[in-house]
Amino acid sequence: MRRVLVVGGSEEYSGAVFLAGIAALRSGAESVIIMAPEKVAWAINALSPDIMTRKLRGRYLGMSHKAEILRQLKTADVFVLGNGATTRPGTATLMRALCKWPGKKIIDADALKVLHSNKVSNAILTPNAGEWKLLKKNNDIQKLLAKNIIIKKGMPTQILFQSKVFQQKGTNRGLEKAGTGDVLAGLCAGYLAQGFSSWDAAKKACETGNKVAELLTKKKRGYYFLASDIVEELRKISK
């Protein structure tokens, strides 16, 4: 189980899918393919020769891309959905449809914002505070937890599954910055690709992200690091 597919990105947000994809590679995925609007995909190609892309027509994801994405999912072991996608109506409809894919997946960012009626299973959900409020509004949390793991990002971060709760000690405040959630989603995918259970992948992703954030806080003498710094530090510690 080594292949990760990441679907997301939009005209406004090209960095989110890249951060998720490169973090998945750094944490154990054998290969990562990113499917994104064509200009986003070309930008990712310029950033890294290690990530493969599939270029989707247009500036935003929509239902016209569903069949192509489902074909690509036949080759994937782990699926990451939502990073930088936006919640435009057509994009939201596509993401709700893709959440029904039965394989192991990480539902993040904009895909969380549009999730309705508990229609997801076999997933790690990674909401921040705002996305958590929308999850509670549009879904039954207990029903979600019966079939999924939720990483509730915050100070401290919690991992929830059925009646189990893991609370991270000393979550680094720098992990509230933009982009760090995309890195976390990628870490979850990489550990799932290595063969970790969903619970263990979620726990190891949180622990790894926090460990790297602590190292960077010491190096920079404060919370001055960026999400891309976390990815770079992962490169160093994975050698």
The whole-angstrom separation of Cα 204 and Cα 191 is: 8
The pLDDT of residue 138 is 98
Q: Render 18-74 in DSSP notation, one character per residue.
A: HHHHHHHHHTT-SEEEEEEEHHHHHHHHHH-SSSEEEEESSSS--GGGHHHHHHHHT
pLDDT at position 184? 98
Judged by phi (left if over 0) then psi (alpha if -120 to 50, else beta), residue 134 lies in alpha
Residue type, 116: H
Distance in Å from the first CA to the final CA of the chain: 22
Assess contact for 198 and 149: CB atoms under 8 A: yes
**Right CATH number for 3-237 from 3.30.1520.10, 3.40.462.40, 3.30.230.10, 3.40.1190.20?**
3.40.1190.20
Quote the pLDDT of residue 238.
58
Cα(142)–Cα(110) distance, integer angstroms: 21
Specify the pLDDT at position 235.
76
State the pLDDT at residue 1.
58
The CA angle 6-12-18, to the nearest 5 degrees, is 30
Q: What is the pLDDT of residue 236?
A: 74
Q: Determine the pLDDT at residue 172.
A: 94
Q: Extract the tokens encoding 78.
A: 């782990």
Task: Give pLDDT tens digits along the chain (239 positions).
Answer: 599 999 999 999 999 999 999 999 999 999 999 999 999 999 999 999 999 999 999 999 999 999 999 999 999 999 999 999 999 999 999 999 999 999 999 999 999 999 999 999 999 999 999 999 999 999 999 999 999 999 999 999 999 999 999 999 899 999 999 999 999 999 999 999 999 999 999 999 999 999 999 999 999 999 999 999 999 998 776 55
Domain ranges of the chain: 3-237
Distance from C-alpha of 161 to C-alpha of 111, rounded to nearest angstrom: 19
